[in-house]
Amino acid sequence: MKRSSLIIHRSSVILALAIAPALAVAQGTLSVGSKRFTESYILGEIVTRTAAGAGGVQAVHHQGLGNTAILAAALKAGAIHVYPEYTGTIAFELLGLKAVPPLADLNRRLAEEGLAAAVPLGFSNSYGLAMVASQAAALGIARLSQLARFPELRIGLSQEFLNRRDGWEALKNAYGLPFYPRGLDHGLAYEALSGGQLDVIDVYSTDAKIERYRLRVLEDDRGFFPAYDAVLLYRREVPERVPAAWRALQGLEGRIGARRMIEMNARVELDRVPFAQVASDFLAPAPAAARAPARERTFSDVLFAPDLPRLTVQHLLLVFVSLVLSVVAGVPLGVWAARAPRAGAAILAAVSVLQTVPALALLAILIAALDRIGTVPAVAALFLYGLLPIVRNTQSGLADIAPALRESALALGLPSLARLRLIELPRAARSILAGVKTSAVINVGTATIAAFIGAGGYGERIVAGLAVNDHAVLLAGAIPAAALALCLQWGFEALDRWLVPAGLRER
């Protein structure tokens, strides 16, 4: 009995320590979002640093949240307060218009959603389709309308462009294009094109890699693509809520020309300079020529970058809060499954089905259900994924207890709850702990996907690495996640020896 109480006390201490970080919620922040491509990362960082520099507010950059739909939903729900957007995207994607009206007209329509657009940054970034210049010349292709003569061409498009109202379907209809394109991440498309795996990709007019890979952007000879002027899309209360920060953001108006934006994109994509450094250099008063030349980046610099502690805390928060919730729900469900075989079959079937749902699909469902992005839907998804190993191991651990031991407890007249607390759970402790360990290790890997909805963690580096096809940044996110999984594995093995009585381990 003493040993059982000790197990329960130690477990409670561990659960309390795991859930404590979830109680710390930042107050008074300006949340800045960005999409999952280089330019948006840079602009998001510029906005964040500009607002923070005004004082009186803590600005936080939720980078690489996803596509337009996710960012707009986050803005409407108040999960973020401002993000860089383009007038064409606002008109077509968010408002469903047929043309791009002046900014004042856009704002009249956005006001119905509690949003507004302002601060034209000084450049336009239009969509286009591009080919390797030598191949385009050999085939005699200079305009989009000429593509229809070559149905054998292989086209690869970003998922954003494939699914936009002003994207592929509308373009295909406007030009009568006969292709069935492949979807892939925009950051990988240039390498696929230069490697001969694709013939045509979608590009942004400010992409730095257009010159690097000697591409020809095909002329939009039917005037399909509208103007995509870069602006800030924000919640209408932002200027009143953070007036000093808003005045600082207004100072960005007209400061970023197209050539300057291409240069900043090039520093990130070609020179491998971090987004934050590029934004800092843009805002620094010293001219670029006066800056000290950057030394060559090493993998150690990327792996142990200043964001590592923040990402580690975020990843641990995702894993351990979801794990605590899975334990709190999973162990009672496992007990119920063991004591009621009919209900047990239904319970195990339900938690098994949950784990078969693809992670991104589950996140999408939870975003829609909870009407928010970030940590809450990510923790909810990880909680659901973590149930199966805990429920199954609790049920099997209890089912494996020797019948003679159960009969002895009954003969002693112990009530059901006392039998569970004093005999059954301690005897099943090893099996339950093994389920918790499996759940924790699985969640370390699955939590990396949470970065796609702004929940942070090591996945933030993986997403950023994909955005610019930077293998070093990808590995700098993958290696700490793998190391954390191994540490948890070893930690739970040590916990097994500490929590579970030696006699029970030997049975």
End-to-end CA distance of the chain: 18
Q: What angle do CA 60, 370, 107 make, to 5 degrees?
A: 60
Q: Is residue 14 predicted with pLDDT exceeding 60? A: no
Average pLDDT for 184-207: 90
Report the predicted TM-score, pTM, of the whole model to 2 decimal places: 0.72
pLDDT at 321: 96
pLDDT at 244: 92
Q: Which residues 6+ apart lie within 8 Å of 486 measured at CB?
A: none
pLDDT at 469: 72
Distance CA 423, CA 48 (A): 56
The model's pLDDT over 357-373, given as tens digits with 9 standing for 90+, comes to: 888 788 878 877 887 77
pLDDT at 9: 37
Q: What is the dihedral of CA 55, 58, 61, 65, to 10 degrees?
A: -140
Q: Would you call 223 exposed, middle or buried from its count of C-beta atoms within 10 A (0-12, 13-18, 19+)?
A: exposed
pLDDT band at 429 (very low <50, low <70, confident <90, very high): confident
The mean-pLDDT minimum among 159-168, 231-240, 438-447 falls in: 159-168
Q: Is residue 285 predicted with pLDDT exceeding 90? A: no
pLDDT band at 3 (very low <50, low <70, confident <90, very high): very low
Which DSSP string corresponds to 363-428?
HHHHHHHHT--SHHHHHHHHHHHTHHHHHHHHHHHHHTS-HHHHHHHHHTT--HHHHIIIIIHHHT
pLDDT at 501: 58
pLDDT at 363: 83
Closest residue by Cα to residue 335 from 276, 392, 379:
392
Average pLDDT for 55-77: 85
Q: Is residue 28 predicted with pLDDT exceeding 50? A: yes
The model's pLDDT over 390-401, given as tens digits with 9 standing for 90+, comes to: 999 999 998 888
Average pLDDT for 322-340: 94
pLDDT cut 70: percent of the chain above it:
90
Q: Is residue 21 predicted with pLDDT exceeding 60? A: no
Question: Residue 25 CB: number of other CB atoms within 10 A?
Answer: 7
Average pLDDT for 420-434: 86
Q: Is residue 348 predicted with pLDDT exceeding 70? A: yes
Q: What angle do CA 154, 158, 162 make, to 5 degrees?
A: 85
pLDDT at 503: 53
pLDDT at 10: 40
pLDDT: which is higher, 169 or 70: 169
Average pLDDT for 34-56: 92
Q: What angle do CA 187, 191, 194 make, to 5 degrees?
A: 145
* Average pLDDT for the chain: 85
The model's pLDDT over 106-128, given as tens digits with 9 standing for 90+, comes to: 999 999 999 999 999 999 999 99
Q: What does each C-alpha distance from 46 to 124, 180, 249 come to in angstroms?
A: 17, 37, 9
> Are the beta carbons of 240 and 53 closer than 8 angstroms?
no
Q: Is residue 235 predicted with pLDDT exceeding 60? A: yes
pLDDT: which is higher, 166 or 348: 348
Q: Is residue 322 predicted with pLDDT exceeding 50? A: yes
pLDDT: which is higher, 470 or 434: 434
Average pLDDT for 493-502: 73
The mean-pLDDT minimum among 56-60, 129-133, 244-248, 393-397 falls in: 56-60
> Are the beta carbons of 78 and 235 closer than 8 angstroms?
yes
Q: Looking at the DSSP assignment, which residues form a beta bridge with residue 183? A: 157
The model's pLDDT over 130-165, given as tens digits with 9 standing for 90+, comes to: 999 999 999 999 999 999 999 999 999 998 899 888
Q: What does each C-alpha distance from 443 to 107, 138, 273, 355, 384 come to in angstroms?
A: 42, 51, 31, 11, 10
pLDDT band at 452 (very low <50, low <70, confident <90, very high): confident
Q: What does each C-alpha distance from 277 to 25, 283, 412 come to in angstroms?
A: 27, 10, 71
